[in-house]
Structure 1
Amino acid sequence: MARDTTDNQPIEGLDQLVGYLAAGNKPRDKWRIGTEHEKFPFYTDGNAPVPYGGERGIRAILEGMQEKLGWDPIIDDGRIIGLVEPTGQGAISLEPGGQFELSGAPLETIHQTCREGNAHLAQLREIAEPLGIRFLGLGGSPKWSLAETPKMPKSRYEIMTRYMPKVGTKGLDMMYRTCTIQVNLDFESERDMRRKMQVSLKLQPLSTALFANSPFTEGKPNGFLSWRGDIWRDTDNQRSGMLEFCFSPDFGFADYVEWALDVPMYFVIRDGRYHDMTHMTFRQFMAGAARKEVPDGMPTMGDWANHLSTLFPDVRLKRFLEMRGADGGPWRRICALPAFWVGLLYDEAALDAIEALTADWTYAETLAMRDAVPEKGIAAPFRNTTLREVARDVLAISRDGLKRRHRLNRDGYDETSFLSTLEEVVARGTTSAEEMLSAYHMRWGDSIEPVFLEYAY
């Protein structure tokens, strides 16, 4: 999740909020790729979860990483809860259940993204392995109950933990027991943002299917290929999902702002202290509803930036677009996700082609796909075919886009090789989750424990 920011500039009107998003417009030569990935820490002795404190806890990992990298600590109520590269080029943060997240630097190629991920995991192993800790690349926590899952000492998470059961049945599972891989991508104009938002919303269920990697809960198969995908169907439906209004032919920044204004807030920060604001929307906040509740009770641009970071649609709009559909997974997936989306969205001919392919997909059809994918993966039906067949066409467009981008590594290879793990899923007809379930019933003898060997970083 995003690092909370402070910017004390007062908000004077709606135009300012729209302008905040429009300030993300960038010329093509400034487009970058920001990749985030999360993983579950566990003790190799007994495959138990790792708490925050103690000599072999998550705080010790953060302190070791701080010493190794020289990054600045992120402090919340006197405790280290993350690290940030001094010039803002990347950060390490904690999710509510201790999931360890790298928010990568904005990079130019997938080759750089892969090197960044490799370096991070190598640094992490160097610090964590002497503590008897490794990390698991899955989309859902396979073994521990919610009660067994540690809680990180982060103020915003305390507010969210109290609030989630009021607005959905699965919000605490989302917070404490899921991991994702995300990519953040740029746009050059409102029109470009609209095209990318609409295409990527329609394709997010396909992304969930291709990356489905969370078939276990509390030591047993849970009936899903992407349990994480199912969790997002009832987390907090006011702030998450497909966003039907984004399908409109004239969708723009102002429409997203109008939607965001009517979503309940989580918090505001004043003098380093988090105030629970879940009882009001941002629109009510702007109308003065918090004047008597919090110091400086009128909204700032920092409050707006933080509010945007607490919205969870399948594609999130900030000053860039965040692709949010994929389960966390093994190392190859960390490179495959940005490759998939960059191939589709950063090459004009590919964007034209994928827009044409999805042009007549309706909101209702896309929602039906989203509902089918957690259980069925790439076998989910779409019209008179399956997502497996759709994936063949989509991956071919992405591959062509990456080919035309022609970003070569030192050995002269382009970025298309990073799609191979997804092309294997389509060729086999089985997702990573199905491979895992097969192993569970056969090689693993109905035991969850081997997952901690075979899917650890």
Structure 2
Amino acid sequence: MSSLTDASILSAPLTRDDLVAHMAGGSRPKADWRIGTEHEKYAFTIADGRPLTYEGPHGVRALLEGLTRFGWSPVYEGETVIALTCPTMGSVTLEPGGQIELSGAQLETVHGTCCEVTTHHRNLKIVGGELGIGFLGIGFNPKWRREDISLMPKGRYKLMSEYMPKVGSLGLDMMLRTCTVQTNLDFGSEADMVRKFRVSLALQPIATALWANSPFTEGKPNGFLSYRSHIWTDTDPARTGILPFVFEDGMGFERYVDYLLDVPMYFVYREGRYIDATGQSFRDFMAGRLAALPGERPTIADWTDHMTVAFPEVRLKRYLEMRGADGGPWLRLCALPAFWVGLLYETASLDAAWDLVKDWTAEEHAQLRAQVPRLALKTPFRKGTLQDVALRALEISQAGLAARGRLNSKGRDETGFLDPLWTIARSGRTQAEDLLESFLTRWNGEIDPVFTECAY
């Protein structure tokens, strides 16, 4: 989520070259590459499995305030606590439907990010236990309807909730009922960014398949293994998708800036409030013609806010965000950064991953994007299935992690974090399929056991 720094006091009005330079400024030498992991989880009342309201003794505010004992400082929007921050731990943010997200610190190893996840969940369980709140690791709310879920009191969410139904039929579901885990990784140069962007965008369906974990809607099977992924296909076509231009000649920082300039705006943040600019043009803003703020021009804070309102499968900021995975069990929260670090952070593995995908056509990218949410690893691809590609991708990732040689205190490298993924890839069976089998057998067609069996 964006910073709440007042944009009006920051840098002078921007040019397109400024925007390109800002993005290019994210390039770092390899020694400074870090790993950021973000994950969302549902918070629910243990007594009845209901989503949390914001206020009340079992509410989101009480949960956030309870976490402050562990070194977090509250962030306010007016009188409303909307997030927590800590210089060494990142931030805890409040998502639109009351999902709780850890946006972790920039860490050197997957060992570090897994320790971070572990500490975060232990703290949540302490506070949640006192408040009667549980936490669910799954990609889509398995039981409750949109109207059962409270929209959290944050200004940008109100604007988004009013705008979403104008541009797609599932945007409110995205806001209120989905949970994801994502990894943020660095690049060393424009050329390195382009290579990593192409590889990660092509292989994003592999992540969607391996992490597929959202087969239920309102207590019943929904026909998908990753319904969360499907939801993004009908949220807002102007800001989502697989971005075919990334694979074209001429891709670079300038090309991505031009894409972002054409993504419709949501808001401008001024003096503690969100000004409605939904559907308006950042290009007009730069020319002083924004209807929401006539005559005013943007600052770098406005641009960094705008960078957060594009939602492609991989998002470029001053780093790359891998966005294709469903939320899920504890170990798979650690497996996601391991998977992508192994593929992207060692030259030999990055080259091997590029060799795997470099001849895929635009039609094949589109086919995978369309079919994987329903079929996961059983998606047909060329002479086999996506399972074959997933196994090869895991081989490459494992080699990359082994080459990194980052050891923990017990002398173990990072390859062990891939173990849950090897189990899924070798069997061809996702957690979503396991949950569906449980629903039809052990659960006797009832959804409530998910709040016990998939809780952290």
TM-score range, shorter chain: over 0.9
Which deviations, in whole Å up to 9, do the C-alpha atoms of 1:389-411 show, x marking residues without a partner? 11111100000000000111111
The CA deviation string for residues 367-416 of structure 1, in whole angstroms up to 9 with x for no partner, is 11010011101001111210001111110000000000011111111100
What SS does the corresponding residue of 2:115 show, helix, strand or coil? helix
- Give, in whole Å, the separation in 2 of the partners of 1:244 and 1:117: 34
Q: Which residue number corresponds to residue 406 of structure 2?
A: 407
Among 7, 31, 34, which residue is 2:33 paired with?
A: 31
With over 3 angstroms needed to count, the CA separation of the structure-2 counterparts of 1:135 and 1:321, relative to structure 1, is same
Corresponding residue SS for 1:237: coil
Residue 443 of structure 2: aligned partner: 444
**Partner AA of 2:48 in structure 1:** G
For residue 38 of structure 1, give the secondary structure of its aligned residue in structure 2.
strand
Do the aligned partners of 1:5 and 1:305 also contact (CA within 8 Å) in 2?
no
Partners of 1:109 and 1:405 in 2: CA distance: 10
Paired with 2:396 and 2:4, the residues of 1 have a C-alpha distance of 37
Q: How does 1:273-422 map to 2 (within 5 A)?
A: 273-290=273-290, 293-294=292-293, 297-422=296-421
Q: What is residue 119 of structure 2 aligned with on the other side? A: 119
- Distance in 1 between residues matched to 2:354 and 2:188, nearest whole Å: 17
2:57 pairs, out of 55, 58, 63, with 55
Contact 1:138 1:179 in 2 (8 A): yes
Matched, 1:84 2:79: no
Shift of 1:250: 2.8
Q: Is contact 1:5–1:306 with CA below 8 Å preserved after alignment?
A: no
Aligned residues: 454
Q: Is the 8 A contact 1:4 1:306 kept in 2?
A: no
Q: How big is each residue's C-alpha offset from its partner over 1:400-440, in whole Å with a ceiling of 9 and x where there is no partner?
A: 00000011111111100100111100122110100000011
- The TM-score with structure 1 as length reference comes to 0.97
Gaps of 5+ in 2: none
Instruction: Decide whether the 8 Å contact of 1:141 with 1:217 is kept in 2.
Output: yes
Match of 2:262 in 1: 262
Task: Find the aligned partners of 1:81 and 1:395 in 2 and give their Cα distance.
Answer: 38
The C-alpha deviation readout for 1:20-44, integer Å capped at 9, x for no partner, is 1000000000000000000000111
* DSSP-derived class of the 1:430 partner: coil
TM-score by length of 2: 0.98
- SS across alignment from 1:54: coil
Does the aligned pair in 2 maintain the 1:22–1:190 contact within 8 Å?
yes
Structure 1 Cα separation of the partners of residues 81 and 88 of structure 2: 17
Given that residues 289 and 295 in structure 2 are in contact (C-alpha distance below 8 angstroms), is that contact kept between their aligned partners in structure 1? no
User: How far 1:103 sits from its partner (Å)?
Assistant: 0.2
Task: Please report how far the alpha carbon of residue 272 of structure 1 lies from its aligned counterpart in structure 2 after TM superposition.
Answer: 0.9
Partner of 1:161: helix, strand, or coil?
helix
Match of 2:199 in 1: 199
- Identify the residue that residue 23 of structure 2 maps to in structure 1: 21
Q: Which residue of 1 aligns with 2:110?
A: 110
Secondary structure of the equivalent of 1:49?
Answer: coil
User: 1:205-253: CA deviations, max 9, x gaps?
Assistant: 1110110000001011111000001101111110110011111133100
Q: CA deviation at 1:150?
A: 1.5
Letter in 2 for 1:256: Y
Equivalent residue number for residue 224 of structure 1: 224
Structure 1 gap segments, 5+ residues each: none
Identity %: 53
